[in-house]
Structure 1
Amino acid sequence: MSESRTYAAVAMQLAARSVERAPDRAAARQMMMETIATLGPKLRSASVFIEQYGGAPVRLAVLPEYLLTSYPGRISIPEFADRAALEIDGPEYEAMGKIAQEQKLHLAGNAYETDKHFPGLYFQTSFVIAPNGNVVLRYRRLNSMFAPTPHDVWSKYLDVYGLDGVFPVARTDIGNLAAIASEEILYPEIARAHALRGAEIFVHSSSEIGSPVATPKMIAKRARAFENLTYVISANTAGIVDTALPEASADGNSMIVDWKGNVIAESNSGETFTAFADIDLAALRAARRKPGMTNTLSRQRNALFAASYAAETHQKADSLIREGGVITPDRDHFKRVSEETIARLAKDGLI
């Protein structure tokens, strides 16, 4: 794609539908496919409106976090994996791939996913599907409070996927795309690791509190954009259906942030496509290639921090590795790890 061209990106603010109360696996899978079936018409009508409104053609659409299933709740990890986690080449990806093909756009989203290399576990996965229907980016969430992550099986995960598989960047004709999952927007290192590999646009699927005042995540989105000279396309849920929570607890404030840290589009509450904006890659790339105080990415001196990050003082890797094998944890495992980490840091005088 020529750098002189622009295109539109849209953060689709849609309601997630919980499968926790589905009677069995088949019912849960049917619910997920029903949700996918609603996406095509909503994306198509949003794209038509955006272009009629005067925008460029929509080439990138971002969906909210765990749109197909909602969060796991207290279901055991094996049960939730069986009920709600997608297979890498499963029918759900095929159905979403058809939408991307039919509408000639990149479709980014987030789902729970199984992996044949790690039986008994699932990972929360952010993905990008290209206009040819293929998944061109698969990023597994690295920092989660209550679910398995690649860091919990770190030594084996690196053997299987390598570091480029941990921080993948998809080089596409609409720019270099990378994913940040939900709460991870609060961790500067995750965004930075992607930016150091060339990421220009962060797709951020989230399910978070919406508010008329700035929340930590809202502040972080602007910070991650400015400090890395990247766009952030952040799609929030429009509430979560069929859980014990009030439906609008995670609703509103989907946004697009430009590489200067400016919010250039933001939604109110409810299901909506109103967080859309033109993406100007030429301007972003020109800023990255110009020396100056605001070029925070090129001015990074990574060697200054390497020793501090190499010291494994905080949360340790491989919490789910025992005697060289992967174990399946109970839900409280992750809380225990956190408590043990805090106790150790306090003992060592680090917190």
Structure 2
Amino acid sequence: MSIAYTSLALQTRCFAINKLNVADSRAKIFENIDRVGRHLNGSKGFIGPSVKLVVLPEYFLTSFPMGESLPEWREKGAISATGPEYEKLAEIAQQNQVFLSGNVYELDDHFTDLYFQTSFIIDSSGETILRYRRLVSMFAPTPHDVLNEYLDVYGEDSLFPVASTELGNLACVASEEILYPEITRCLAMRGAEVILHSTSEVSSTELTPKDIAKRARAVENLCYVVSSNTAGIADIDFPAESTDGLSKLVDFKGRVMCEAATGESMVANAEIDIDALRRYRNKPGMGNILSRQRNELFASTYNKSVYPANSMLDKDNKYHVPQRSHFMQTQVDTINALREKGVIK
């Protein structure tokens, strides 16, 4: 049976919870879910029943912390993996018969004082089939910050999950992680065919770093990239349209198939042809970049630490909750170490 369907990068506006108390924040989260559900339902009704895969922007539930401490944001903006928010999202996926992907701040029973930024995929039956925890973040905890303990709990396979589905092999990359080629490459080497990219990023009349990276990740890994950006962020103290527009689908040759302008939009939708991708990946030639990797050459270089793992673990391998200044200080220390090693001048 052939695998071809329409995927939609749904460009919706984000309504921030930062200025709200905890109770009002929780109510706003459900309002945001309901709003996304209406947009999805209307978009599929307009585009047609071929829509089977929908990607939501980063921050669609909450926006991002802006001054809140980790404990404050955990209480206000993070959701349980088994909570009612996921149940509502599952209902939306099931009612519309789509696979639904997005990115949220998520609690974890094994790390009760932390949260992780998590990309998810819910299938058309309402089951959450993939959770990917963001590995590179500037101001939020990641599995890498508590790596030893995280691996003890979840194992190495948890770091780069790929879901084998009726829509092909799906994987997620979060936001600015599109700038880190190693992440998408690790997913591709585990079979990923479609990269679902929830983002909230600057758009411009010029090519931006992330926009270049979307094309690069697609062509170098022979995969589709479905990238959904916010249509601005409201109710927060910076210009709302700073992160707005250019949601897009990129094919496995790095060609932009469709692209939204600014504002809320369903324009970024196009056909994903998994059969065509698989034929190309099986064809010898210079263009088959994925088959021409010589990973042994790079192993020793990548084995050298840059940003340190386990920066939030103590000497007993137990995590602690830092001030947000911890993240900036760790980066400063990393830059100093790179200078001492002669990597940078």
The TM-score, its normalising length taken from structure 1, stands at 0.96
Tell me if 1:321 matches 2:318: no
Structure-1 separation of matches of 2:60 and 2:36: 11
Aligned to 1:13: 11
Matches of residues 173-322 of structure 1 in structure 2 within 5 Å? 173-312=166-305, 314-322=306-314
Matches of residues 1-351 of structure 1 in structure 2 within 5 Å? 2=1, 4-23=2-21, 25-51=22-48, 57-312=50-305, 314-323=306-315, 324-351=317-344
Structure-2 separation of matches of 1:57 and 1:19: 34
Paired residue type of 2:52:
R
Cα RMSD between the aligned structures? Answer: 0.8
Deviations along 1:243-287, whole A, 9 cap, x unmatched?
Answer: 001110100000000000000000000001100000000000000
* Helix, strand or coil at the partner of 2:218: helix
2:173–2:195 CA contact under 8 A, matched in 1: yes
Structure-1 separation of matches of 2:152 and 2:282: 35
Percent of counterpart pairs with the same letter?
A: 51
Shift of residue 210, structure 1, vs aligned partner: 0.9
Structure-1 separation of matches of 2:104 and 2:111: 17
Shift of residue 160, structure 1, vs aligned partner: 1.1
Deviations along 1:12-64, whole A, 9 cap, x unmatched?
Answer: 001111111112x221111000111112221121112212xxxx600000000
2:3–2:166 CA contact under 8 A, matched in 1: no
Structure-2 separation of matches of 1:40 and 1:246: 26
The TM-score, its normalising length taken from structure 2, stands at 0.98
* Helix, strand or coil at the partner of 1:13: coil
Deviations along 1:172-206, whole A, 9 cap, x unmatched?
Answer: 10010000000000000000000000000000000
Paired residue type of 2:105:
Y
Q: Following superposition, which runs of at least 4 residues in structure 1 exceed 2 angstroms of deviation?
A: none
The count of aligned residue pairs is 343
Structure-2 separation of matches of 1:165 and 1:66: 23
Which runs of 5 or more structure 1 residues have no equivalent in the other structure?
none
* Helix, strand or coil at the partner of 2:291: coil
Paired residue type of 2:87:
E
2:3–2:167 CA contact under 8 A, matched in 1: no
Structure-2 separation of matches of 1:311 and 1:218: 29
Paired residue type of 1:37:
D
